[in-house]
Homo-oligomer: A and B are copies of this chain.
Amino acid sequence: MGQAFQDYLQKNRENHLQQLVELLQIPSISALSEHKDDVRHAASWLANELQRIGIENVAVMETKGHPVVYGDWLHAEGKPTVLVYGHYDVQPVDPLNLWDTPPFEPTIKDEKIYARGSSDDKGQVFMHIKAIEALFQTNGSLPVNVKFIFEGEEEVGSPNLPLFIEENHDLLKADLLVISDTGMMDKGKPTICYGLRGLTGLQIDIQGANSDLHSGAYGGGVQNPAHALIEVLASFHDKHGKILVDGFYENVRAITDEEKKAFADLHTDEEAIRKELGVPELFGEEGFTFNERTWVRPTLEINGVYSGFQGEGIKTVLPNKATAKITCRLVPDQDPEEIYEKLVKHIENNKPKGVNVTITPFDKGAPFITPLDHPAIQVAGKAYEKVYGVPVSYTRSGGSIPIVATFHELLNTPVVLMGFALPNENVHAPNEHFHLENFDKGMLTLCHYWLDLANSL
């Protein structure tokens, strides 16, 4: 049967590419109101296509902004249900003159397809549809239950997605969420990112006298808010980069031996990173590698700090205000709200004398992980390996993807990030393109994944 869907995809390649061109021709730029109808056109196109291949309950569902395309097929009794997320809106195309071929006139050159949205994310959405079509056509049914949710507002920050998920909680319920909106580490290096860091943060405002003071007349007799702020900020870390907030590391999930091995297998060149950044040395918590420091360890980072005079030269002022903006990157199983409260408590315990301190919270986001040994991750890895013929790279990421946190928090479903983009495909830039090698291999990987998943979850 593996052979059958492969033959099908091969035989229909030209036809499929022609359909992809059609989808990419629609200028569905979500940020620009003059393209509102184009965004809706792309939604209908996908809805029609889902319906045509055999997906049921297909609907273009309204939100306060651009619509969500939904569809499902739920006849694989006793088998897992997979929710597939992607987005059909694209980034603006300015500056147009830097494009070698027009952004909405898809052009195939050197086994790459050039068009806005080819890599991010219409190309990957389309692959999901064609993989399912191949299974339907060669098998008459699907090995797992499938639900599709294709969003039209990802490029503008998904403002209406959280409410949509909340309101359609039961409709979207699944055993697994697969997101194809990320990438591979490198050409020929299939990658599964199974964890992201979360976020919490706050602003500290320190107020001294009711106006800036003369540093001669008052210096030494009044607390300097900059000194007070530095006293607080200095209390957050030791000299080795360890965070000193009480209980900060309490719920940090330890890295497993399996993860340690997976990261070592990446052969990350730390000296190359150092050179690229132009720093005299890398720096971080002792006993951890660069990958471990940025993926599995939490941070407390000053994103901004300011007080007093910033012009050229000298001004002998004793400032009356000082501000710092701080965010923490969180890892499983830290809770953003709990960490925020610990930060506040720490500041209160280290409150300097002679000034008033105000704390303002920032938005929070939960960290996410689908454990490396979770069957959904392992089966995905094996699917990649069957197609690409090389071991898959397992990574985590130091950043956050808001939609992942949103889904994870609202649906509480394991997530697999199964992305087929390559790092240099000019996503969000002129001459965006997508490698057809990953178009072909990606669809095969998806077919294998659905088939293998049927008996593994």
Contacts and interface: CB of A to CB of B under 8 A. Distances in A.
A404 interface: no
B317 A215 contact: no
A281 B353 contact: yes
Contacts of A219: 294, 299, 301, 329, 398
Contact of A314 (B224, B352, B363): B363
A368 to B, nearest CB: 13
A410 to B, nearest CB: 21
Contacts of A227: 233, 237, 241, 301-302
Interface stretch (A98-106, A114-122, A304-312): A304-312
Interface of A: 197, 199, 201, 208-210, 213-224, 226-227, 230-231, 233-234, 237, 239, 241, 273, 277-285, 290, 293-294, 297-299, 301-310, 313-319, 322-323, 325, 327, 329, 352-356, 362-363, 397-400
Taken together, the copies of this chain in the complex come to 2
Given A304-B315, A362-B313, A354 B281 contact: yes
A237 B219 CA distance: 14
B304 A307 contact: yes
A182 to B, nearest CB: 13
Contact of A305 (B201, B213, B223, B307): B307
Given A208-B277, A221-B282, A234-B234, 16 more contacts: A209-B278, A213-B277, A215-B301, A216-B399, A219-B294, A220-B297, A221-B290, A222-B279, A224-B301, A227-B301, A231-B237, A280-B354, A303-B319, A304-B309, A305-B322, A313-B362
